[in-house]
Amino acid sequence: MILLLFSTVFIIPVLMGWGKLMENISGPLFRGTSGKMLLGIFGISWVWTILCFFIPLNIYAEIPVILTGLLYFFKDKLYSSIYSFSKKDTILIGAISSVVLLAGSFYPYILDHFGYYIPSIKWLTEYGIIRGISNLDFILGQMSLWHIFQAGFSNFSDPFLRINTVILVIYGIYSIEKKGWIHLCFLPVLLLFSQSPSPDLPVIIFSLILLHEIIAGNKNIALLFAFSVFVLAIKPTMIWLPVLVFFYGTFIIKSKLTSFFPGLFILFLFFFKNIWAFGYPVFPIAIGDLEMPWKPNPEVLKVSSQYAVQKTYDMQYSYEEIQQFSAFDYIKNWLSLKGIKSKINILFVVSLIFFSIHTWIRKKKLITLIYVSLLIKSILVLAFSAQYRFFIDVFFVIFFVVLYDYFDRKKSIIVFSIISLIMISLLSFPALIQQYLPSFRLGNFIAGFDSNQIYKPGTYEYNHFDSFQTGNLQFNVSKDYPYNFDTPLPAISVSYIFDDAKSGIFPQLADKKNIRKGFIWKKMTPQEKKEVQNVINNIKNIDK
């Protein structure tokens, strides 16, 4: 917790400095200290996104960004903005930050932390973004902008990968600075995402902030739209946000078409990044085929698509069973899944119905535009893969819009305190979750409180792996564990080895002498099939 405090205090001035630099170029996203922090996140993310095509995001990429941010922070005396907060607000920011730092010091428990977040960050810090990386390990084709941002700070400033904790502190500052007290009701719920660089946390926070700015009448459409596309680039399921900003700029502000050009340029960079890593403009959808030689094998895409369908039903039905569903079965079975997910699905449907009625009663143009944007997003999610993690942001938005004027400072602080106490208790005593919510599987991976957290955030080490070679590719596989979170690169997840073997293909280096030239897939020769079978036998311990 102490080291996490130092990291936060160090990173925030860097973000403010970059925010000031960005304001000199584009003007402010909105006035205030938190506005500079958010604009700093935006600017640094795109600088590192462009850089990682050419160099790894190692210490040599981090230090110049840090020095630039600190230069502007001290040159423009941005530290003086601290004194703009009243004594009461300063105490409240300190209390909120303490709760956030405590929550962020717990051990990570989200499984994607080990199978997706850390492997992505390792590749970015050691090599940069690699062409066709999805051919090696399909999930790495996402390469979220949030992991690029985290990777850049992971060498020196934030070696514990707790950038989400920093973002929560910034969110608290924004809530108090803008007197947006309702945000304090959301903040403690988001504590559950503070131990990992999960993209879910920043996209929820940024979307609520932009929504607040839109309701408050912010007319800087160029930056609002650009930032909304940035949120989309972090997590494409947030498509409703740029749609809303576009509607807002077009139908309410009556902005010129040129206001959307910066955002469209960012959208182009997002598509280019995906094409480079995955072969198609949007991961994991095979739409917009440009015939890139490093695009994934069609069979791999088919398996991914089938898996997404099964995940919609929480893996409780086989793909073949789902294909036999009638239209009624699709809905009935989705709403009657075993465990907590069916309750979330039902709540989602009820929330949309409720918000439809609320929109009709209020008859306000802005609320109608928010509703239409959420409806577009919901239809797309339901059509592709109706997993609750893809529409969880809808709950936050509906709650925000409906109760925007209800919460004052006192009510919000009470709600924040109660929910924070509950969340810290659940993180400290995970047996409570395991006992009362056994269907919430992540509860089984929460480690509980460790006194070492007071000094240093909880982190795991494993470092057991086997090394193999197939064709021109030497690779490593985590031993007796499904994820490669600290396996030396290049590493392949066990599940993808099985999928590739079943498809009769295997990843290969495009240039056996230079890993940065990327990966392609190749049909296996009889010899390579034997090599892969030996790998599988070794993994299954068949030959022991």
Tens digits of pLDDT across the chain (544 residues): 999 999 999 999 999 999 999 999 999 999 999 999 999 999 999 999 999 999 999 999 999 999 999 999 999 999 998 888 999 999 999 999 999 999 999 999 998 999 999 999 999 999 999 999 999 999 999 999 999 999 999 999 999 999 999 999 999 999 999 999 999 999 999 999 999 999 999 999 999 999 999 999 999 999 999 999 999 999 999 999 999 999 999 999 999 999 999 999 999 999 999 999 999 999 989 888 898 999 999 999 998 889 888 999 988 999 999 999 988 899 999 999 988 889 999 999 999 999 999 999 999 999 999 999 999 999 998 888 888 888 899 999 999 999 998 999 999 999 999 999 999 998 998 888 777 777 666 777 888 888 899 999 999 989 899 999 999 999 999 998 889 999 999 999 998 999 999 889 999 999 989 999 999 999 999 999 999 999 998 888 743 4
- State the Cα–Cα distance between residues 96 and 92, nearest whole angstrom: 6
- State the Cα–Cα distance between residues 359 and 368, nearest whole angstrom: 6
SS3 508: strand
Residue 519 β-bridge partners: 509
pLDDT of 543 reads 38
pLDDT of 440 reads 67
- For residue 391, the one-letter residue type is F
- For residue 132, give the nearest of 524, 528, 516 by alpha carbon: 516
pLDDT of 480 reads 87
Residue 17 CB partners (closer than 8 Å, separation 6+): 40, 68, 69, 70, 71, 72, 73, 74, 76, 78
Q: Which helix (H) or strand (E) holds 366?
A: helix 365-384
SS3 509: strand
pLDDT of 544 reads 44
Full-model pTM: 0.95
Q: Which helix (H) or strand (E) holds 311?
A: helix 298-312
